[in-house]
Amino acid sequence: MIVVMEPGATDEMIEQVIKRLRDFGFDVHLSKGVERTVIGAIGEKTAEKIQQIEATPGVQRIIPILQPYKLASKEFRQERTQVNVAGVVFGGAHVPVIAGPCAVESREQLLETARLVKAAGAHLLRGGAYKPRTSPYSFQGLAEEGLKLLAEAREETGLGIVTEVVNPRDVETVAEYADMFQIGARNMQNFTLLTEVGRTKKPVLLKRGLSATINEWLMAAEYIISAGNPHVVLCERGIRTFETETRNTLDLSAVVAVHELSHLPVIVDPSHGTGKWKYVTGMAKAGVAAGADGLIVEVHPRPEEALSDGPQSLRPEVFEQMMKAVDQVARAVGRYVLEQPCAANLA
């Protein structure tokens, strides 16, 4: 349920309500918005408990949350949540772009890519150090060595780091280097992993599972938030359908649906969503037009040499064109990607 406080409720009143809820055995989550303060209370409720909370000074009303996800729901929080990743904000007018290689392959490859994506206007650097590959014989990533290279790339370019954590045991190590955890599609329902990143305060990029419904995806976000970490950004990366021309089917209706159902920001991954570099710019533009709060795109200086996901990786010059094109679409819908608008025509 949600305890809505009176607009003029004092901090003492809020504290008192929180204390009473905790005494009643509720798990408490405070949300201080510009308009109103609400307290999410998760736990066993009785008519008696509700009456007593309702009668506590400063309480305006109590509303039950009907959606199965509570803290991730729009019922809990009407205002859009903003998630700050190393100074880059998701969920506002700005549409940040996370770019970089699928996997960190070498120092040269990573630093070269980082410099190029930075020059084209990217806001954060991606790169997998732990790669969850379909085949156990494929390149599995450089592990901690890869994380160190990412930290070096951040040092040089100033770009914050987004990288995947695959194993709950590695959460602490990845947290030392990354600015944002990525939870991969294959791990969307790895509840131990979700709880583990939920115990930190570091932002989490939660990718949608290959065959997950929007409801299941939001329930996965609920795991992270209920463990204590509200800094969740969702990522639509395509789902399994009968179509084989594209690697996955990028479900852009999920962007619109998530904004209807949840207060969390949602970004789009047109690289895994299509599997082909030629389709990436078109779907990136479509994602921004649908209201995506950001993009994550794979870029490689020489895709033909990539150890993973080469066919869907953009060459730097194509990425630069994509950035200009998505900026123009963003501006048409009242947002922006690049700080400085450019005069280039739509790609």
> Which region among 3-11, 139-147, 184-192, 275-283 touches ligand PEP (by CB under 6 A)?
184-192
Closest approach of ligand PEP to the CB of residue 269, in Å: 6
247 near ligand PEP, judged by CB under 6 A: no
| Binding partner at 75 among Mn ion, ligand PEP, none, C-beta below 5 to 8 Å by kind | none
Q: Which residue is nearest to Mn ion (CB)?
A: 102
- By beta-carbon proximity to ligand PEP, the closer residue of 160 and 184 is 184
Backbone angles phi, psi at 111, to 5 degrees: -65, -40
Spatial distance between the Cα atoms of 325 and 346, rounded to a whole number of angstroms: 5
CB of 272 to Mn ion, least distance (A): 6
CB of 131 to Mn ion, least distance (A): 8
Pick the stretch among 26-34, 150-158, 181-189, 259-267 that binds ligand PEP (CB under 6 A).
Answer: 181-189
Identity of the residue, 149 or 338, whose beta carbon is nearer to Mn ion in the bound complex: 149
The residue from 237, 247, 263, 335 that contacts ligand PEP (CB under 6 A) is 237
The reply to whether 129 sits near ligand PEP by the rule CB under 6 A is: no
Nearer to ligand PEP, 38 or 166 (CB): 166
Q: Which is nearer to ligand PEP, 184 or 198 (CB)?
A: 184
The least CB distance from residue 190 to ligand PEP, in Å, is 12
Q: Of Mn ion, ligand PEP, none, which one does residue 185 interact with (CB within 5 to 8 Å by kind)?
A: ligand PEP
Considering only residues 52-91, where is the footprint of ligand PEP by CB under 6 A? none
Binding site for Mn ion (CB under 5 A): 102, 309
Among the listed residues 20, 49, 231, 272, the single contact to ligand PEP using CB under 6 A: 272
> Minimal CA–CA distance to 205: which of 168, 162, 172?
162
Smallest distance, ligand PEP to C-beta of residue 124, A: 13
Pairing relationship of beta strands 59-63 and 2-5 according to DSSP bridges: antiparallel
CA angle, residues 176, 237, 182, in degrees to nearest 5: 5
When asked if residue 184 is in the footprint of ligand PEP (CB under 6 A), the reply is yes
**Nearest approach, Cβ of residue 266 and ligand PEP (Å):** 14
> How many residues sit in the footprint of ligand PEP (CB under 6 A)?
8
Binding site for ligand PEP (CB under 6 A): 102, 128, 184-186, 207, 237, 272
